[in-house]
Amino acid sequence: MVDITQKQSTHRTAVAQAVVKVSRKETIEAIKKGTVPKGDVLSMGRAAGFLGVKKTADLLPDCHPLPVEYCGIDYEMEGLEIKIIITVKTFYKTGVEVEAMHGASVVALTMYDMLKPLDKGVEIHYIKLLKKTGGKSDIGNQ
Amino acid sequence: MVDITQKQSTHRTAVAQAVVKVSRKETIEAIKKGTVPKGDVLSMGRAAGFLGVKKTADLLPDCHPLPVEYCGIDYEMEGLEIKIIITVKTFYKTGVEVEAMHGASVVALTMYDMLKPLDKGVEIHYIKLLKKTGGKSDIGNQ
Amino acid sequence: MVDITQKQSTHRTAVAQAVVKVSRKETIEAIKKGTVPKGDVLSMGRAAGFLGVKKTADLLPDCHPLPVEYCGIDYEMEGLEIKIIITVKTFYKTGVEVEAMHGASVVALTMYDMLKPLDKGVEIHYIKLLKKTGGKSDIGNQ
Amino acid sequence: MVDITQKQSTHRTAVAQAVVKVSRKETIEAIKKGTVPKGDVLSMGRAAGFLGVKKTADLLPDCHPLPVEYCGIDYEMEGLEIKIIITVKTFYKTGVEVEAMHGASVVALTMYDMLKPLDKGVEIHYIKLLKKTGGKSDIGNQ
Amino acid sequence: MVDITQKQSTHRTAVAQAVVKVSRKETIEAIKKGTVPKGDVLSMGRAAGFLGVKKTADLLPDCHPLPVEYCGIDYEMEGLEIKIIITVKTFYKTGVEVEAMHGASVVALTMYDMLKPLDKGVEIHYIKLLKKTGGKSDIGNQ
Amino acid sequence: MVDITQKQSTHRTAVAQAVVKVSRKETIEAIKKGTVPKGDVLSMGRAAGFLGVKKTADLLPDCHPLPVEYCGIDYEMEGLEIKIIITVKTFYKTGVEVEAMHGASVVALTMYDMLKPLDKGVEIHYIKLLKKTGGKSDIGNQ
Pairing of strands B123-133, A81-92: unpaired
CB D23, CB D120: distance < 8 Å: yes
**D4 contacts D64 by C-beta, under 8 angstroms:** yes
A1 in F contact zone (CB under 8 Å): yes
Which has more pLDDT, D140 or D54?
A: D54
Give, to the nearest 10 degrees, the angle between helix F41-54 and helix F97-115: 140
DSSP E5: T
E strand map for chain C: 10-21, 70-78, 81-92, 123-133
- Confidence category of residue F136, pLDDT binned at 50, 70, 90: confident
φ/ψ of D74, rounded to 5, equals: -120, 155
Q: Are F101 and F85 in contact (CB under 8 A)?
A: no
ipTM of this complex prediction, to 2 decimal places: 0.95
| DSSP H stretches of helix in D56-96 | 56-59
Instruction: Select from F31, F36, F40, F113 the residue whose CB has the most chain B CBs within 10 Å, as the one to mutate to test that interface.
Output: F40
pLDDT at position B142: 40
Can you tell me whether residue C33 is helix, strand or coil? helix
pLDDT tens-digit profile, chain C (142 residues): 999 999 999 999 999 999 999 999 999 999 999 999 999 999 999 999 999 999 999 999 999 999 999 999 999 999 999 999 999 999 999 999 999 999 999 999 999 999 999 999 999 988 999 999 998 777 774 4
- C48, C107 contact by CB (below 8 A): yes
B8 confidence band (pLDDT: 50, 70, 90):
very high
Chain E residue numbers touching F110 (CB-CB < 8 A): 60-62
Q: List subunits contacting chain E, requiring 3 or more Cβ pairs under 8 Å.
A: B, C, D, F
**Which top CATH class is B24-133?**
alpha beta
Whether B48 sits inside 8 A of F44 (CB atoms) is: no
- Catalytic residue ranges of E: 113
Mean pLDDT of D49-59: 98
How high is the pLDDT of residue C141? Answer: 47
Q: Are E138 and E24 in contact (CB under 8 A)?
A: no
pLDDT at residue B139 in the model:
72
Q: Where do the structural domains in chain F lie, given as residue ranges?
A: 15-133
Residue of F nearest to D11 (CA): F5
Is the CB of C46 inside 8 Å of chain A's CB atoms? yes
CA neighbor of A65 nearest in space, from B71, F55, F20, B28:
F55
Q: Which CATH number fits domain A22-133: 3.40.50.1370, 3.30.1600.10, 3.40.50.720, 3.30.70.640?
A: 3.30.70.640
Q: How far apart are the first and last CA of chain F?
A: 30
Asked if the Cβ–Cβ distance from A126 to B125 is below 8 Å, we say: yes
Point out the residues of A that are catalytic.
113
What DSSP assignment string belongs to F37-73? TT--HHHHHHHHHHHHHHTHHHH-TTPPP----EEEE
Q: Which amino acid is at A51?
A: L
Q: What is the mean pLDDT of chain B?
A: 94
Quick check: C109 contacting D, CB < 8 Å?
Answer: yes
Which stretches in chain A have pLDDT values below 50? 141-142
D34: alpha, beta or left, given left = phi > 0 and alpha = psi -120 to 50? Answer: left
The answer to whether the CB atoms of F1 and D50 lie below 8 A apart is yes
Distance, in angstroms, between B14 CA and closest chain C CA? 20
Q: Measure the CA dihedral A77/A78/A79/A80, to 10°.
A: -40
Q: Residue B38: its chain A contacts at CB < 8 A?
A: 1-2, 62
Select the residue of F5, F58, F59 nearest D69 (Cβ to Cβ): F5
- How far is D110 from B19, CA to CA, in rounded Å? 44
* φ/ψ (deg, to 5) at E25: -60, -35
* Alpha-helix runs per DSSP H in chain E: 25-33, 41-54, 56-59, 97-115
Question: Of these residues, C58, C62, C74, C113, which one is catalytic?
Answer: C113
Q: Best residue in A62, A99, A111, A131 to probe B by mutation, most B CBs within 10 Å? A: A62
Average pLDDT over residues F54-61: 97
Task: Test C44 with A48 for CB contact under 8 angstroms.
Answer: no
B1/C50 Cβ within 8 A: yes
- Which of E1, E57, E67 lies closest to B70 in CB terms? E1
Interface touch A67/D62, C-beta < 8 Å? no
Tell me the CATH number for domain C10-133: 3.30.70.640
- The residues that bridge with C92 in the sheet, in sequence order, are C10
Q: Active site includes C113?
A: yes
Specify the pLDDT at position D138. Answer: 73
Residue pairs spanning D and E at CB distance below 8 A = 21
Which one from D40, D74, D113, D119 is the annotated catalytic residue?
Answer: D113
The count of other CB atoms within 10 Å of the CB of residue D56 is 24
Fold of F15-133: Alpha-Beta Plaits (3.30.70)
Q: Residue D125 — pLDDT band, cuts 50, 70, 90?
A: confident
D40 in contact with E, Cβ within 8 Å:
yes
Q: Distances from the Cα of C134 to the Cαs of B6, C63, C101, D141, in angstroms?
A: 14, 17, 17, 48
Query: Could you tell me if E68 lies within 8 Å of chain C, comparing CB atoms?
Result: yes
Residue F135 pairs in a beta bridge with none
Instruction: Give dist(CA F123, CA F109) in Å, integer.
Output: 9
User: Which of A60, A64, A107 has the most B C-beta neighbours within 10 Å, making it the best mutation to test the interface with B?
Assistant: A60
Of the residues F40, F58, F113, F138, only one is catalytic, namely F113
> Among D31, B64, D102, which Cα is nearest to C18's?
D102
Q: Are residues D125 and C120, on separate chains, in Cβ contact within 8 Å?
A: no
> What are the distances in angstroms from CA C102 to CA A139, C86, D72, D110?
43, 10, 22, 10
Residue C105 and residue C56: Cα distance in Å, rounded? 11
Q: Is A134 left (phi over 0), alpha (psi -120 to 50) or beta?
A: left
Query: What residues of F are in contact with residue A98 (Cβ under 8 Å)?
Result: none
Chain B contact set for A117 (CB, 8 A): 2
With contacts defined as CB-CB under 8 Å, which chain E residues touch D43?
39-40, 43-44, 47
Look at A46 and C46 and tell me if their CB atoms are within 8 Å. no
Q: Are F137 and F22 in contact (CB under 8 A)?
A: no
What is the mean predicted confidence (pLDDT) over D115-134? Answer: 92
Is D91 touching F (CB cutoff 8 A)? yes
Instruction: Find the closest chain E residue to C9 by CA distance.
Output: E91
The single-letter DSSP state of residue A39 is -
Report which of D113, A121, C69, A75 is spatially closest to residue B57, judged by C-alpha positions. C69
A41/chain C closest Cα distance in angstroms? 9
Question: Rounded to the nearest 5 degrees, what angle is found at the Cα of B48, between the Cα atoms of B47 and B51?
Answer: 90
The overall average pLDDT reported for chain D is: 94
Q: What does the pLDDT profile of chain E (142 residues) look like in tens digits?
A: 999 999 999 999 999 999 999 999 999 999 999 999 999 999 999 999 999 999 999 999 999 999 999 999 999 999 999 999 999 999 999 999 999 999 999 999 999 999 999 999 999 988 999 999 997 777 774 4
